[in-house]
Every structure is written in C-alpha cells, then in structure tokens.
Chain A
Amino acid sequence: MSAATPGRSGPASRGRAPRPKSGRVPWILVVPAVAGVLFLVLPFAGMLVRAPWPTMGARVTDPTVLAALWLSLSTATVATVVSLLLGVPLAWLLARTEFPGRRFVRALVTVPLVIPPVVGGVALLLVLGRNGLVGRYLDAWFGLTLPFTPAAVVIAQVFVAMPFLVISVEGALRGADRRYEEAAATLGADRVTVFTRVTLPMVLPGIGAGAVLCWARALGEFGATITFAGNFPGATQTMPLAVYMAMQRDPEAAIVLSLVLLLVSLVVLATLRERWVNAS
C-alpha cells in the first residue's frame, strides 16, 4: 500500500520494489507474523466449523438475504464513489496547500474513526434527521426526509468510511515526488492540469488502496446505519444488520449470513486486485 516511486520509472510506475537479496528469513519477524495471521484467521475458522452446511443452499438463496446482499454491495459502492469525489480533493487540500487551521481540519477528518459509529449515527440524526439542524429545512423546503431511506445508508457509510480514503490518499500525496508537479507547472500547466495529468496518475495506487479500505469499511458498517437509517428489509437492512437480527433468533443463520458477506467481499477485493495489478 505504498505510494508510487516515480523517481525510477515515471508517474505511471506501479512502484514495485526490487526483490530483496535472498537470505535467511529472520525468525523474529516470522513468529509474530504467523501469530498475527492465526489471530485473524481463527475466528473465521470457528465460523466455518459451526456453519450449518446441509441447509446452506436454502438459507443463502432466501430473498431477504439476497435483498440485503444487493443493498450492501450497491450502497457500499455508491458510498465509495461519493467518498472518492469528496475525499480525494480534501486529501489534496490537506497535503498540498497551506491554510490556517489545516491541522485542525485534519484532526476533524479523523473524528469519525474515533467516535463509536452509533454516536455518529445519532449525530447524523441530529443534523440530517427530520427535526435536525439541516434536515428540518430539507423537509420544509423540498419535502425530503433522509432517515429510513437507502440514501441514509449511503450517508452513514460515507461518514464512517471516507476518513480511511482521505488518510490513505493524503499519505500517498505526501510520499509522492513533488518535482514532477513543479516541472509541469514551470512548463505552463495550471494547477488543475497538474492535478489531473500528473498528481492523480502518480498517486493512483494510494487512491486505489484508500478506495478498497473505504469500500470494505462501508460494507461492514453497522452502528451508524442502524441508528441513522433504521432497519427495514429491502430498504435499509444491509448485511451487517441482517446478521445482527439473525443473531437474536437463530445464531446459525447469522453464521451463514456472515460467511456470505465475507465470501462476496473477498471475491470482489481479489478481482479488483487482479484487475489492478494486470492493468499496469
């Protein structure tokens, strides 16, 4: 997830590091690494063991499961697109410009990472709800109420997931060599042209990594969604909400739903990665 290293092969470089000289793999790194993998994988193995395999097929093709899966995938994707449109310019502003209060703004960007998502959901209700600071005018002027709609799901996901994208892209921008941008500027390119023709291609891997993080976080979003968007099958019940509800009644169903979500997200991420790597 490192930024490109344009110094070697230009802005379109994939930034692949040269293979290190072969040698003994140091145990001091291998042992904790293996422990880390086990720690992350064991809960997943637990789910696989406890999964009710004989009834899996029927459970997975349940219409409410498919509706929740479709809602999750579509809202997470829309949330990622919105995050890209807002987050990349924000990251550029934080990394490439000086303005008063920049550090403060950067701290604010990370607030959604720190506060519990349920609190974020309440905050969204207080601002965008029917009686919220902004929401009451949306209701009065446009007859628009956001809570309990798929749009509210997307808003909740953008709120919790966009900071991941902003931080990734800002890190990539800071790591990128600014001499290319300066060279373009001295050759007469204006700032927008420099951004779209030089900066953007240079930090594309960072944007890709940030987008993947953002999408994954949006897909797993629970607290802000159930608080701000509510829980209604087909409209606002995403997979994590369906898993939570199933847990109350039938833990086996919850395991099935979790596995479906996990499998689909792994397939999507692996495919994206494949495309990403092959495209370069």
Chain B
Amino acid sequence: MRESVPHRTGHRPPASGLAAVAALCVVLTACGAEDTEPGDGADSAGALTGELTVFAAASLTDVFTEIAEDFRDRHPDVEVTFNFAGSSELAQQINSGAPADVFAAANTATMEQVVAGEGLDADWAAEHGEDGLVFVTNTLRIAVPPDNPAGIENLADLADDGVQVAFCAEEVPCGAATTAALDASGLDVTPVTYEEDVRAVLTKVELGEVDAGLVYSTDVISSGDRVEGLEFPEAEEAVNDYPIGVLSSSGDSALASAWVEAVTSDEGAAVLRDAGFGTP
C-alpha cells in the first residue's frame, strides 16, 4: 500500500499554473497556425469565422470556459456558445434535434447514445474514433476533512469500525464508480449515507460530518483547501472516460474540429490537468 501515501491535491497556487499556460500559448500559437491540416481547418490558417455551439458535461464548465478565452483570442471572428448540463440530459437534447456542433460527455455511455441517435460527423469519426475521442479521465479520490480526524490513509481504512463514510448513491455515475472501486478492492464498506450526487458527498466532508467520502479528483481541486484528497490504487479500476466528438448536425465541421483540437492541444491539456482531470 505504499502507493496510497496521502497525496495532497487540495492546495495549488493557481497563478503559477496560469502563467505556464500563458507561456505555452505564446510559444505554441505559431505552431498551431502551421499545423492546420488541409481540408480540416479553414481555407487559410486562422481565418475561421461563424458560430460554434458546444454541448458539454457540467463538470467541464470551468475548464471549457477557460479554454474558450484562448480560443477566442486566436479566432476573434468565432462566437463560441456553451450549453453545460448533465451529460444524459444533453444527449437527449442533441438526439431531439438541438443545434450543437460539438458534444463532450462525462462518460462513454452518454456519447454512445448520441452516436446511436444524432450521430457524429462521418469524416471526423473516421479519423478520430467512431465513439468519439476520449480526451480526459476523472478518477475517484478519498476526500477527508483537512485535519483528517479518523487518520484515513487508504481505502481499507474506510472499512474500520467507527469510521463514518459518505458515498454517492449507486443510481448516479459517481456511485457506480464507487461500487467498481470497492469491487476491485474486495472491501466491504458500509457508509452512513448514500448521497444524491458527488457535490453532496463533498459538502458532508467539508462540514466534517463524515470522516471520509469518495469524490472525483476534480471535486477535490475545486473545493480548495476545505478537503484533502487521497489517491488510492483501486481508483484505477473505476476511471471515468470523457469523450468528445463533432456532431453530424454541425453546420461547420471545420470550426467544430478546431474546437476539439483546442481542447486536445497542449494548452488545453494543461488547463484540464490543472483542474484535476487525468490524461487518457
């Protein structure tokens, strides 16, 4: 269990991360222009225009908004609009004909619904994957209050008597991931509560009402120093994949592809990494 040494992910001076991103942007802007693939970008590099509508999972709100700022700097004639909501709700909207160019989902199941329904852009899918392109992952962490009153160090500690644990209900995605991680560990942990979503688990930990809870690494980062996140090896069995894809309904697949490239670029990856997302 040496791998499961508590790893503090709560504190991170945001300024240095931003500075690094900014520096990367300066260095890579030139390359980006040269890299524009023939037929996939606009006629001439950097001359993209029009409106771009991105449907994305709620957990991507902060990172996509940040990536969009850089995207607008590079393509000033492009207007980017977001629709952030739960992935399955977005999938239903897309399959009902909502006008979207790009869909980024929080799990593969919802992307499969869209692939089976509205469908991805055929040319894009042939190149990047029929079920979309997995661009980030999200991994479970053990969240504990900053003073860690129960001295939790690994998943097995959650099974100890007298340790109060909050899990997501199995009905929601983080609860399914929790079950997968516990199955992988062979542990039998009985929580005091099955919360309705991952934010509710986080609240119970932040208030110190439970000794530990299982949340995503991005939740640990977003809650700052109010909780501490511990990595644990069994989480590798329950990694959530985030796929992105250009939709067949997109009126401008070149523009949509440019957004996917911005997200999967080194700058985009840096933003996602700083927010706690993993690389696939």
Assembly CA distance A245 to B200 (angstroms): 14
Interface size on A, residues (CB 8 A): 20
Chain A residues, Cβ within 8 Å of B207: 125-126, 129, 131
Q: Which of A227-280 contact B (CB under 8 A)?
A: 227, 230-233, 236, 244-246, 248-249
Q: Which of A131, A245, A248 meets B208, CB within 8 Å?
A: A131
- Expressed in whole angstroms, the minimum distance between the Cβ of A140 and any Cβ of chain B is 13
Q: For residue A241, which residue of chain B has the nearest CB?
A: B196
Whether A226 contacts B196 by the Cβ 8 Å rule is yes
Across the interface, do B209 and A125 meet the contact criterion of CB distance under 8 Å? yes
- Among B10-18, B110-118, B166-174, the one that faces the other chain is B166-174
Shortest CB distance B207–A (Å): 6
Q: Report chain A residues within 8 Å CB of B164.
A: 130, 148
CA gap between A248 and B176 in the complex, in Å: 12
Decide yes or no whether B22 CB sits under 8 A from chain A: no
| Residues 165-186 of B contacting A (Cβ, < 8 Å) | 166, 169, 171-172
User: Inter-chain contact count A-B, CB under 8 Å?
Assistant: 52
B37 → A minimal CB distance (Å): 42
Chain B residue nearest to A135 (CB atoms) is B209
B197-208: CB near A (< 8 Å → 1, else 0) gives 000100110011
Mark B150-175 against chain A: 1 for CB-CB distance below 8 A, else 0: 00000000000000101001011000
Within 8 Å CB of A233, what residues of B? 194
> A120 interface residue, CB < 8 Å from B?
no
- In the assembled complex, the Cα of A214 lies from the Cα of B252 at a distance in Å of 58
The answer to whether B191 touches A232, judged by C-beta atoms less than 8 angstroms apart, is yes
A206 within 8 A of B: no
Q: When the two chains form their complex, are residues B209 and A130 in contact, meaning their CB atoms are under 8 A apart?
A: yes
User: Contacts A129-B209, A148-B164: A232 and B171 contacting too (C-beta < 8 A)?
Assistant: no
Residues of chain A having any CB pair with chain B under 8 Å: 122, 125-126, 129-131, 147-148, 226-227, 230-233, 236, 244-246, 248-249
Q: Provide a sorted-by-A list of 19 A–B residue pairs whose CB atoms are within 8 angstroms.
A: A122-B203, A125-B207, A131-B207, A131-B208, A147-B192, A147-B209, A148-B164, A148-B192, A148-B193, A148-B209, A226-B196, A230-B194, A230-B195, A231-B169, A231-B195, A233-B194, A246-B171, A248-B169, A249-B171
